[in-house]
Amino acid sequence: MNVSTMIPELLEALPLTLAIMFVALAAGFCLALLTTTFRVRRVLLISTLADLYVSYARSVPVVLQLFIAFYGLPVLVGAFGIEDFLSANLAAMVGLSLYHGGYLSEVMRPAYLAVDRGQHDAADSLGYTFQQKIARVVGPQAVHIALPGYGNSIIYLIHNVALIMYIGAADVMATAHLIMARDFNQYQFETYLLLAVFYSLLCLIAWMIIRFFENRASIYTLSNKPAKFSLTASV
């Protein structure tokens, strides 16, 4: 078998790889929004738990977080009498979602705090609720600040998707190793080069999408022009 005949088998594992990645992106984003809200508003005890969660997601190696999800969650749900609940694919989604949410929260929080304090005060003086202030004034400016960091977090997630093979998920990386083992480790260099091209393309697509949104959000670029910070323009 050569590399060209290997490609169809790798493509069969592509949907699962992309599904795990997109679930982690969506769930992690929701977790990051919730965590950032509690870290910004400082709700007693809940904010402390949110800080601990972010510290865990940023401090523990991703592969170890995957092992904790794979071996720890069955113990957790087993306490409620639920058996055979967790598969390797589901554990990969949970582990990567927790990692991505914690990492992304540390992108969102500084972006929120970087918005000029006068914008917060102006929105408060008009009687805006916290939700209205975020949606109409602070949010659009914070989004533009956070976009580069958000792009980096997506790229890191794409890189770390390759680690789910260690908990038994049959993604592209795991499939490539199975093919090489079956064929007595032939074409190792070519196979890894092919995988490098695959992950590079995913990162390139993510970078292009983020760049598109950065250009669309250029109206909120921080500058010394007062008009771009005016509350009227933000509303």
Token pair in block for residue 198: 């695959």
Q: In this predicted model, which residue has the larger pLDDT, 186 or 113?
A: 113
* Residue 220 scores a pLDDT above 50: no
Token pair in block for residue 190: 């070519």
* Residue 210 scores a pLDDT above 70: yes
* Residue 224 scores a pLDDT above 70: no
**For residues 13-34, average pLDDT:** 94
CA dist., res. 143 & res. 92, Å (int): 28
**For residues 52-67, average pLDDT:** 94
Identify the pLDDT of residue 1: 57
* Residue 227 scores a pLDDT above 70: no
* Residue 98 scores a pLDDT above 90: yes
**For residues 181-208, average pLDDT:** 88
Identify the pLDDT of residue 83: 62
Q: By C-alpha distance, which of 171, 112, 184 is closest to 141?
A: 112
CA dist., res. 10 & res. 229, Å (int): 49
Q: Are 62 and 157 in contact (CB under 8 A)?
A: no
Q: By C-alpha distance, which of 192, 168, 170, 169 is closest to 180?
A: 192
Identify the pLDDT of residue 85: 59
pTM of the model: 0.83
Q: Are 176 and 10 in contact (CB under 8 A)?
A: yes
Angle between helices 139-161 and 188-216 (to 10 degrees): 170
Identify the pLDDT of residue 157: 95
CATH code for the part of the protein at 3-234: 1.10.3720.10
Q: In this predicted model, which residue has the larger pLDDT, 30 or 81?
A: 30
* Residue 234 scores a pLDDT above 70: no
Token pair in block for residue 48: 């402390």
Identify the pLDDT of residue 25: 96
**For residues 143-153, average pLDDT:** 89
User: How confident is the model over 67-87, as pLDDT tens digits?
Assistant: 999 998 888 777 666 666 568
Identify the pLDDT of residue 231: 43
Identify the pLDDT of residue 82: 64
The percent of residues in the chain predicted with pLDDT above 70, rounded, is: 87
CA within 13 Å, CB half, 84: 0
Where do the structural domains in the chain lie, given as residue ranges? 3-234
CA dist., res. 176 & res. 135, Å (int): 45
* Residue 191 scores a pLDDT above 70: yes
**For residues 226-233, average pLDDT:** 42
